[in-house]
């Protein structure tokens, strides 16, 4: 009888070529991840790095342009813009993280249940999602934040009420496509119960995309929170928050542009870093590319 | 000799009609009956769309039969509830056609292989792993595959893993749905030899669905030929080349190509178009393409008759 040879360890040649590419992707990912982690650590411990008190007024040096003492200048109350930017970062990050973890969990759970079971629950849920998606999100958030009253927590709730829907949709469509795969039929054949199929077979195939989506959303969420603060619906002055700072600088746009430029740049930098993180995370999660 | 062995699967008069959107009925499996005995490899062949896969789905209750009965180990399973069906499935393993999509891409082979042991609470993990290792050795794979993801393995390796898993469960019946069709021809033969070796070793009854007549005649004990949902002939594999009687079976045999065949020889194909399986009248399904069809073939369904020991044909020409 023709003997089968011992199986080689899974196609060496294919692996070697893939490894190089995978390595590049991974190096890129770890580089961006390091930057992002440093960024977050820095923001969380900003009080230790800030040269000045972010809230203390100092009328003697109000509206000073950037200089050696105040590298980003000062605002009309003489507060150091650089210190305020640093101290403002922490709050925005933690709010965005907490909200996204919460929202993606809820959205994914609902989406997976809808996608797996279908039926009436799915129809009702998805029509509800359609209704929510029909609102322009900023307008909806303004309305909700207006109703609940200004405040950071209320702003987060207002944003969260809408943003779970995209997670639900994504999870639902991914689940619906995974559900038809042969390995689900095979799993049922081997006695896997429905909860087990959802957790062990469907969730691992849905999770990477959800994690990528959540990461990509960090930047956007910080931006939305800042917009609400800008409109006076989230953080209130004198809190050092980027949206609040931009809002306060409106009147001085021409005489003291640094008041607006530096918080704006901080926002851009944050959004770019987290979007890059999301992108490279997607590449890394794609096991087939490695 | 097969007569003394225990009947593992007895399919009686099984029918499956699908109701289409416009209200017409598509008859996918039409009054099919057969028996599979212990240790036997029973092959089902026929062209695509003839109801082979539906038959497998009916036996495993993925689809519900319209009428007829499936008796598995002396137990009618056509109406069992879900919980009881689960215990039946433990004794009835299935190997799928598309190996590349049978393992979840996010699951390591080890977890994949451990699943049935865990779900059916057969044995503790350590014993299960031992069993898995032994089975892997029997399909000539190394333990290294346990730590791999499915995309790191080839189709042949994955199919051997699936085979090792199915045999490892020590089932009473193994259903193989076109297990070789996704594989390269060079690998097919190895996989089939391995399969037969394990099958005779474990003495497991096997329902082998395939469309490759050559492969089937080499590796199975008996063959059932299906045409558009009807069972047209059941014959011992050894007699296929010499004793086949049904015009469709003979047509299949003649349309066969050999690599060594004379190039000048005309390839004989079965002429005509198959009947549509939608809203069929009661007749022999093959009547539109049969070279010897008489008027009776268009009006009645030929019954399956025993023409020799273990040889059944459904054709009026033999009366």
**Cα–Cα distance, B280 to B276 (Å, whole number):** 7
Q: For residue A4, list chain B residues with Cβ-Cβ distance below 8 A.
A: 139-140, 160, 190, 194
Ordered by start, the domain boundaries in chain B are 7-91+171-311, 97-170
Render pLDDT for B29-39 as a digit per residue (tens, 0 to 9): 888 999 998 88
Question: How many CA atoms does the CB half-sphere of A236 hold within 13 Å?
Answer: 6
| Token pair recorded at residue B30 | 């039409």
- Report chain B residues whose CB lies below 8 A from the CB of A8: none
The reply to whether B140 touches chain A by the CB within 8 Å rule is yes
Do residue A186 and residue B86 have CB atoms under 8 angstroms apart? no
User: DSSP letters of A56-82?
Assistant: ---GGGTTPPS-SSSTT-B-TT--BHH
User: How many CA within 13 A on the CB side of residue A189?
Assistant: 27
* A185 interaction partners in chain B (CB closer than 8 Å): 62, 96
Q: In the structure, what pLDDT confidence band is assigned to residue B83 with cuts at 50, 70 and 90?
A: confident
Q: Residues of chain B with pLDDT > 70: what percent?
A: 95
Given this model, what pLDDT does residue A4 score? 47
Residues in chain A: 290
Helix A12-44 and helix A81-117, axial crossing angle in degrees, nearest 10: 130
Sort out which chain A residues have CB atoms less than 8 A from B103's CB and list them.
183, 186
Average pLDDT over residues B35-58: 87
Any CB–CB contact under 8 A between B136 and chain A?
A: no
Contact flag B157-A7 (C-beta cutoff 8 Å):
yes
Question: Is A204 within 8 Å of B107 when comparing Cβ atoms?
Answer: yes
**Model confidence over B103-116: pLDDT tens digits?**
888 889 999 999 88
How high is the pLDDT of residue A13? 47
Phi and psi torsions of B231, nearest 5°: -90, 110
The residue with tokens 């119960």 is A193
Contact B116 A196 (CB under 8 A): no
Is A183 in Cβ contact with B102 (below 8 Å)? yes
Say how far apart CA A287 and CA B78 lie, in whole Å.
42
Residue A192: closest C-alpha in chain B:
B119
Does B175 contact chain A (CB < 8 Å)? no
Question: Contact B140/A6, CB-based, under 8 Å?
Answer: yes
Least confident of A145-159, B179-193, B247-261: B247-261
Please compute the mean of the pLDDT values over residues B245-251 and round it to a whole number: 87
Q: How do B67-72 and B311-313 pair as beta strands?
A: unpaired
pLDDT reported for residue B183: 79
Cis preceding linkage at B289, omega within 30: no
Asked whether the beta carbons of residue B193 and residue A1 sit closer than 8 angstroms, the reply is yes
pLDDT given at position B4: 66
Question: Which residues of chain A fall short of a pLDDT of 50?
Answer: 1-13, 290
- Closest approach of B274 to chain A, Cα-based (Å): 30
Q: Looking up tokens 């200048």, which residue turns up?
A: A73
Chain A contact present for B218, CB below 8 A: no
Residue pairs spanning A and B at CB distance below 8 A? 91
Mean pLDDT of B265-279: 72
The Cα–Cα gap between B69 and B58 comes to 10
pLDDT of residue B264: 66
Q: Looking at the partner chain, which of A2, A191, A205 has a beta carbon nearest the beta carbon of B116? A: A191
pLDDT value for B260: 63
Nearest to B151 among A1, A187, A288 (CB): A288
As to burial, measured by CB atoms within 10 angstroms (0-12 exposed, 13-18 middle, 19+ buried), residue A3 is: exposed
SS3 state of residue B223: strand
Of B94, B106, B197, the CB nearest to A189: B94
B45 touches chain A (CB under 8 A): no
CB contact burial B95-108 (16+ within 10 A = b; e otherwise)? bbbbbbbbbbbbbb
pLDDT value at residue B201: 86
Interface test with A, best of B87, B90, B106 (most A CBs within 10 A): B106
**Chain A contacts of B195, Cβ < 8 Å?**
none
Q: How confident is the model at residue B3 (pLDDT cuts 50, 70, 90)?
A: low
Instruction: Name every chain B residue with its beta carbon within 8 A of the beta carbon of A22.
Output: none
Distance from CA of A171 to the nearest CA of B (A): 16
Q: Is B109 on the interface with A (CB under 8 A)?
A: no
C-beta separation of A121 from A172 below 8 A: no
Q: What is the pLDDT of residues A112-165, one digit of tens each?
A: 999 999 889 999 999 999 999 888 888 888 888 889 888 888 889 999 999 999
Q: CB–CB of B142 and A185 under 8 A?
A: no
Widest distance between CA atoms in chain A:
96
For residue B98, list chain A residues with Cβ-Cβ distance below 8 A.
182
Q: What is the DSSP string of A82-144?
A: HHHHHHHHHHHHHHHHHHHHHHHHHHHHHHHHHHHH-HHHHHHHHHHHHHHHHS-HHHHHHHH
**Between chains, do B104 and A193 touch, taking CB under 8 Å as contact?**
no
Is the Cβ of B154 closer than 8 Å to some Cβ of chain A? yes
Q: What is the pTM of this model?
A: 0.78
Tokens of B225: 């030929």
What is the C-alpha separation between A186 and B102, in angstroms, rounded? 7
Q: What is the CATH T-level fold of the domain B7-91+171-311, as seen in this structure?
A: Rossmann fold (3.40.50)
Q: Please indicate whether, in this complex, the C-beta atoms of B104 and A5 are within 8 angstroms of each other.
A: no
Q: Which neighbouring-strand residues pair with B223?
A: B43, B235
Task: Look at residue A70 in the predicted model and tell me its pLDDT.
Answer: 86
In terms of DSSP bridges, do strands B41-45 and B67-72 run parallel, antiparallel, or are they unpaired? unpaired
Retrieve residue A22's tokens. 């995978």
Q: What is the dihedral of CA B76, B77, B81, B83, to 10 degrees?
A: 120
Q: What is the mean pLDDT of chain B?
A: 85
Token pair in block for residue A213: 């989506």
């Amino acid at each position: 009888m023709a003997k089968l040879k011992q199986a080689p360890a899974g196609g060496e040649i294919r692996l070697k070529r893939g490894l190089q590419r995978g390595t590049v992707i991974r190096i890129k990912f770890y580089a961006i991840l390091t930057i992002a982690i440093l960024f977050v650590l820095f923001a969380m411990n900003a009080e230790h790095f800030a040269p000045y008190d972010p809230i203390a007024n100092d009328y003697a040096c109000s509206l000073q342009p950037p200089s050696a003492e105040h590298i980003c200048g000062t605002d009309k109350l003489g507060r150091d813009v650089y210190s305020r930017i640093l101290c403002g970062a922490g709050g925005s990050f933690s709010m965005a993280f907490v909200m996204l973890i919460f929202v993606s969990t809820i959205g994914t759970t609902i989406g997976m249940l809808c996608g797996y079971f279908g039926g009436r629950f799915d129809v009702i849920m998805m029509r509800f999602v359609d209704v929510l998606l029909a609102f322009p999100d900023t307008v909806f958030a303004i309305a909700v934040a207006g109703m609940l009253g200004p405040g950071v927590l209320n702003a987060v709730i207002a944003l969260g009420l809408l943003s779970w829907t995209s997670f639900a949709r994504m999870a639902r469509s991914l689940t619906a496509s995974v559900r038809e795969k042969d390995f689900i039929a095979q799993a049922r054949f081997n006695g896997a119960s429905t909860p087990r199929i959802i957790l062990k077979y469907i969730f691992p195939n849905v999770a990477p995309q959800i994690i990528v989506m959540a990461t990509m959303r960090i930047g956007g969420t910080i931006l939305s929170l800042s917009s609400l603060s800008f409109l006076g619906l989230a953080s209130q002055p004198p809190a050092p928050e980027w949206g609040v700072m931009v809002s306060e600088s409106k009147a001085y746009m021409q005489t003291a542009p640094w008041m607006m430029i530096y918080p704006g740049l901080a926002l851009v930098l944050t959004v770019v870093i987290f979007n890059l993180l999301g992108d490279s995370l997607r590449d890394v999660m794609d096991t087939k590319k490695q | 000799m097969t007569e003394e062995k225990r009947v593992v699967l007895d399919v009686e008069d099984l029918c499956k009609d699908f109701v289409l959107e416009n209200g017409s009925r598509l008859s996918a499996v039409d009054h099919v009956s057969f028996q599979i005995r212990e240790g036997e490899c029973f092959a089902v062949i026929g062209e695509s769309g003839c109801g082979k896969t539906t038959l497998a789905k009916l036996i495993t209750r993925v689809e519900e039969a319209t009428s007829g009965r499936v008796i598995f180990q002396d137990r009618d399973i056509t109406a069992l509830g879900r919980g009881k069906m689960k215990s039946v499935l433990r004794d009835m393993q299935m190997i799928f056609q598309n190996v590349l999509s049978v393992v979840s891409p996010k699951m390591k082979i080890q977890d994949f292989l451990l699943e049935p042991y865990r779900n059916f609470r057969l044995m503790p993990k350590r014993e299960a792993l031992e069993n898995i290792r032994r089975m892997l050795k029997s399909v000539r794979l190394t333990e290294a595959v346990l730590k791999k993801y499915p995309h790191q393995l080839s189709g042949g390796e994955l199919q051997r893993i699936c085979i090792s898993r199915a045999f490892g469960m020590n089932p009473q019946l193994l259903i193989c749905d076109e297990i070789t069709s996704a594989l390269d021809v060079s690998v097919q033969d190895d996989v089939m030899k391995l399969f037969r070796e394990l099958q005779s070793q474990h003495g497991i009854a096997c329902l082998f669905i395939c469309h490759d007549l050559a492969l089937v005649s080499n590796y199975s004990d008996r063959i059932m030929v299906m045409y558009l949902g009807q069972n047209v002939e059941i014959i011992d594999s050894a007699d296929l080349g010499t004793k086949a009687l049904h015009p469709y079976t003979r047509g299949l045999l003649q349309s066969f190509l050999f690599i060594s065949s004379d190039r000048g020889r005309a390839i004989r194909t079965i002429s005509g178009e198959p009947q549509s399986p939608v809203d069929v009248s009661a007749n022999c399904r093959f009547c539109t393409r049969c070279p010897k069809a008489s008027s009776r073939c268009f009006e009645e369904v030929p019954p399956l008759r025993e023409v020799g020991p273990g040889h059944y044909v459904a054709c009026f020409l033999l009366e």
